[in-house]
C-alpha cells in the first residue's frame, strides 16, 4: 500500500485563539533550559516554501514516498532530475533572522537543544550546534546497498557531468528541494549510482512513508525529558513526527509555547500560540533579552 502525505487536519474541538503577546516566549527563554522544535515555517523567510501554510506546496505537489522511490526506476529518475535542479536554488538559501535568533539564544545558554523537522541545514549555517535533524539532511546522500555516505555537492557535480546542459525552467521549488518539472522536462535524465558499490543513491532524508530512525527519536525524547519548556517554531504539527514531542512535554507538565501564524495540531497542549511572523517575532524577543543577533555575513 502506498503511503501518501497527510495534507491537513480538522480540529475536533475549538482551539484557543492565537496571541501577539511575546512575553511568555521571552519569559521561558530567560529561565533557560528551552528545547526548540522547528518546522518549515522558520525557513520561508529564506525563500524555501512550507508544506501546509498559506500557499503551501502540498496544495500542488505530492512529495516522493519511500515506497515509490525504492520500487520504481522511473520514480527515481523523476526524483533526481527534479531534486538536482532544485538543489541549485535550495543550496544557495541563507539563514534568516529566525535561524540567527535560535543560534543566538543557544550561544547565550538559553537553550538545551534544537530539534528541526527541516532538511535544509539552515540552523547549522546560522551557527547552531548539535542540531538534531529529525528528518535528515539534503546535504548528504546515502547508498541503499552499502550505506556509504557522500556529499550532496559531490553528487551534484557527478549529475552535472552525466547530464550536460540540463537546465529546464521549473514552475517552483518545494520544501524538500524538489523542483516542479513535467515528465517532458525530466526527459531521459541520467541517474548516477553509488561510487563505492554501484547501488541506488537516496538523499539522507526521511521520505513520507519512511520511519524516523529509532535512535534519533530517542535523542529527541531525551532532550524533551531534560527541558524546562518546549518552544515550537513554524510547524503545523500536522504529522505525529513532531506532535509526539509536544504531547510528551505537555504530559510531563512542561510549558509548550508555539510561534506559528496559523493554528496547529498542538495548540490545545500549549500555554500560548503566538500568531506572528517568526523572523520579526524572534528578533523582538532577542531584543528584550539583550541577546545580539549576528549578521549573515558574520
Q: Which residues are catalytic?
A: 135
Inter-axis angle of helices 73-90 and 152-162, to 10 degrees?
Answer: 110
In the block, residue with C-alpha cell 525563500: 47
Taking Cα atoms as reference points, which of 140, 151, 108 lies closest to residue 127?
Answer: 108
Could you tell me how many residues make up the chain? 298
Q: Which residue has the cell 524538500?
A: 176
118 is in an annotated binding site: yes
Q: How far apart are CA 234 and CA 118, in angstroms?
A: 10
Q: Which has the closest alpha carbon to 40: 262, 272, 290?
A: 262
Residue 226 assigned as binding residue: no
Task: Tell whether residue 220 is among the known ligand binding residues.
Answer: no
241 is in an annotated binding site: no
CA 118, CA 263: separation in Å to the nearest integer?
19
Q: Is the dihedral of CA 255, 260, 261, 263 positive or negative?
A: negative
Residue 100 near residue 117, CB atoms below 8 Å: no
Cα distances from 74 to residues 9, 70, 106, 214, in angstroms, run 31, 10, 44, 30
229 marked as binding residue: no
The response to whether 258 counts as a known ligand-binding position is no
139 in a known ligand binding site? no
The answer to whether 3 is annotated as binding is no
Give the closest residue to 166 by CA, choosing from 179, 148, 147: 179
209 annotated to a ligand binding site: no
Query: Does 42 show up as a binding residue in the annotation?
Result: yes
Residue among 68, 42, 10 at smallest CA distance from 234: 42
Rounded Cα–Cα distance for residues 182 and 200 (Å):
23
Query: Is 272 known as a binding-site position?
Result: no
Q: Is 277 annotated as a binding residue?
A: no
145 among the known binding-site residues? no
Residue 262, annotated as binding a ligand: no
| 263 known member of a binding site | no
| Beta strand 136-143 pairing with 201-205 | antiparallel
Annotated binding site: 39-59, 117-120, 143, 146, 194, 197, 234-236, 278
Q: Which residues are annotated as a binding site for Zn(2+)?
A: 143, 146, 194, 197
Known binding-site residues for NAD(+) equal 39-59, 117-120, 234-236, 278
Amino acid at each position: 500500500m502506498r503511503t501518501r502525505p497527510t495534507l491537513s487536519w480538522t480540529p475536533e474541538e475549538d482551539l484557543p485563539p492565537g496571541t501577539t503577546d511575546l512575553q511568555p516566549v521571552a519569559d521561558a527563554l530567560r529561565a533557560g533550559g528551552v528545547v526548540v522544535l522547528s518546522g518549515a515555517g522558520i525557513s520561508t523567510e529564506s525563500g524555501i516554501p512550507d508544506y501546509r501554510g498559506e500557499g503551501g506546496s502540498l496544495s500542488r505537489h505530492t512529495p516522493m514516498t519511500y515506497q515509490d522511490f525504492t520500487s520504481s526506476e522511473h520514480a527515481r529518475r523523476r526524483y533526481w532530475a527534479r531534486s538536482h535542479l532544485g538543489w541549485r536554488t535550495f543550496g544557495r538559501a541563507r539563514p534568516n533572522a529566525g535561524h540567527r535568533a535560535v543560534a543566538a539564544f543557544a550561544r547565550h545558554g538559553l537553550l538545551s537543544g534544537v530539534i528541526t523537522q527541516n532538511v535544509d541545514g539552515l540552523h547549522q549555517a546560522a551557527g547552531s550546534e548539535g542540531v538534531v535533524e529529525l528528518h535528515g539532511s539534503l546535504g548528504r546522500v546515502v547508498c541503499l546497498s552499502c550505506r556509504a555516505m557522500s556529499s550532496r555537492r559531490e553528487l551534484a557535480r557527478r549529475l552535472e557531468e552525466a547530464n550536460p546542459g540540463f537546465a529546464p525552467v521549473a514552475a517552483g521549488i518545494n520544501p524538500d528541494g524538489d523542483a516542479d518539472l513535467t515528465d517532458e522536462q525530466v526527459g531521459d535524465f541520467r541517474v548516477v549510482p553509488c561510487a563505492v558499490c554501484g547501488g541506488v543513491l537516496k538523499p539522507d532524508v526521511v521520505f513520507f512513508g519512511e520511519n524516523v530512525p529509532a535512535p534519533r527519536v530517542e535523542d529527541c525524547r531525551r532532550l524533551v525529558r531534560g527541558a524546562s519548556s518546549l518552544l515550537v517554531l513554524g510547524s503545523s504539527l500536522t504529522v505525529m513526527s513532531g506532535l509526539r514531542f509536544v504531547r510528551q512535554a505537555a504530559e510531563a507538565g512542561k510549558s509548550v509555547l508555539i510561534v506559528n501564524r496559523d493554528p496547529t495540531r498542538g495548540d490545545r497542549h500549549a500555554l500560548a500560540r503566538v500568531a506572528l511572523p517568526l523572523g520579526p517575532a524572534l528578533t523582538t524577543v532577542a531584543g528584550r533579552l539583550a541577546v545580539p543577533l549576528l549578521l549573515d555575513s558574520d
